[in-house]
């Protein structure tokens, strides 16, 4: 839609502009790459819609071309972008998922959820939960999607994502831990890459970066106007009164942080709180020195990005005898 003649209502820079007629102009992640065969990485992809009726929710499924009749670890990926930017078809995420699937030898399902400001953030969580139900409906090999039926190993299911997507992955794991185990597929692990967690009171080095802090401070109130408190347990899982992390519904957690990322202290605090919560799983943390938030998405060929990818591949494939 042309915006030259529209009257601006408000801006949430550098992410988007909202006009008085309700039109939302996103400023990042608006390019789109169609699914298909990536011969460089040896990965096929396709989109599946109509998972949540009458909505824009869809998934993009990625599968190594030469997996033949093998079953592979199943990685469910939630993209970042402050809840309000990007989709699985954005080049930033499509290229990353192709690389992840090629390097890790997994089948991956990249989730697109409805986004603020058109939809408050609780809709993103609800959409993501419904997608999980759709995925889990394939656990007996009789779901609607043949690739998932044939190639997903439902004894090795992982949730992962970056930034806001890592926040969604955490909240989905908390949901899994709160329902009847007989109604759910077991989640083996969760990998949180530069997770978006926050809080009302600064911790660690956050106060040293007032400009960065101001930007993060206003994020939750923008995406969740009904409860703009930065100590909402969905964004601050270790806040006073938040549900205990001991109910996290998985057996392994990998937390990845970056030295220059203002969110790193929240990732470390989550790591420490989870380890002390009574949760019966194994948690580990990896810090990349000299890098900032989601650096790996913007330079897949750097050595530090490759090192992070190797850590993820090892996390997804640990205890397997070999890669294909």
261 is catalytic: yes
Pairing of strands 252-258, 282-288: parallel
Phi first, then psi, for residue 149 (nearest 5°) are -55, -45
Catalytic pick from 38, 170, 261, 296?
261
Please report the DSSP string for 279-321 in residue order.
Answer: --SEEEEEEETT--TTHHHH-TTSHHHHHHHHHHHHHHHTT-S
For residue 32, CA distances in Å to 53, 95, 115, 256, 322 come to 23, 11, 17, 27, 34
Instruction: Identify the DSSP state of 10.
Output: E
First-last CA distance in the chain:
47
Catalytic pick from 163, 170, 232, 296?
163
178 is catalytic: no
Pairing of strands 107-112, 58-64: antiparallel
For residue 220, CA distances in Å to 105, 116, 157, 256, 295 come to 35, 11, 29, 21, 22
Catalytic pick from 79, 194, 293, 296?
293
Check residue 31 and give left, alpha or beta (phi > 0: left; psi -120 to 50: alpha).
beta
Q: Which residues are catalytic?
A: 163, 261, 293
């Amino acid at each position: 839609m042309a915006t030259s003649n529209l009257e601006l209502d408000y801006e949430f820079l550098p992410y988007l502009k909202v006009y008085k007629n309700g039109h939302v102009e996103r400023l990042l992640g608006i390019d789109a790459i169609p699914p298909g065969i990536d011969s460089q990485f040896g990965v096929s992809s396709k989109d599946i819609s109509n998972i949540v009726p009458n909505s824009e929710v869809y998934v993009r499924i990625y599968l190594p071309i030469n997996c033949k009749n093998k079953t592979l670890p199943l990685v469910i990926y939630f993209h970042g972008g402050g809840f309000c930017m990007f989709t699985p078809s954005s080049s930033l995420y499509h290229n990353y998922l192709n690389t992840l699937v090629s390097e890790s030898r997994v089948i991956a399902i990249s989730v697109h959820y409805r986004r603020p400001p058109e939809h408050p953030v609780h809709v993103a969580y609800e959409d993501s939960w419904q997608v999980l139900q759709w995925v889990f409906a394939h656990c007996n090999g009789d779901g609607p999607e043949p690739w998932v039926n044939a190639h997903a190993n439902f004894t090795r299911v992982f949730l992962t994502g970056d930034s806001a997507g890592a926040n969604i992955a955490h909240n989905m794991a908390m949901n899994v831990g709160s329902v009847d185990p007989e109604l759910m597929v077991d989640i083996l692990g969760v990998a949180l890459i530069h997770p978006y967690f926050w809080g009302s009171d600064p911790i660690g080095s956050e106060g040293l970066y007032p400009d960065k802090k101001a930007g993060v401070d206003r994020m939750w109130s923008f995406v969740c106007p009904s409860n703009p408190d930065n100590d909402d347990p969905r964004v601050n899982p270790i806040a006073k009164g938040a549900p205990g992390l001991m109910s996290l519904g998985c057996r392994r957690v990998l937390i990845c942080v970056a030295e220059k990322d203002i969110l790193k202290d929240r990732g470390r605090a989550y790591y420490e709180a989870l380890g002390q919560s009574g949760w019966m799983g194994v948690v580990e943390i990896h810090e990349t020195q000299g890098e900032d938030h989601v650096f790996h998405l913007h330079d897949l060929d750097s050595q530090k990005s490759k090192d992070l990818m190797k850590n993820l591949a090892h996390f997804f494939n640990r205890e397997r005898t070999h890669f294909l």
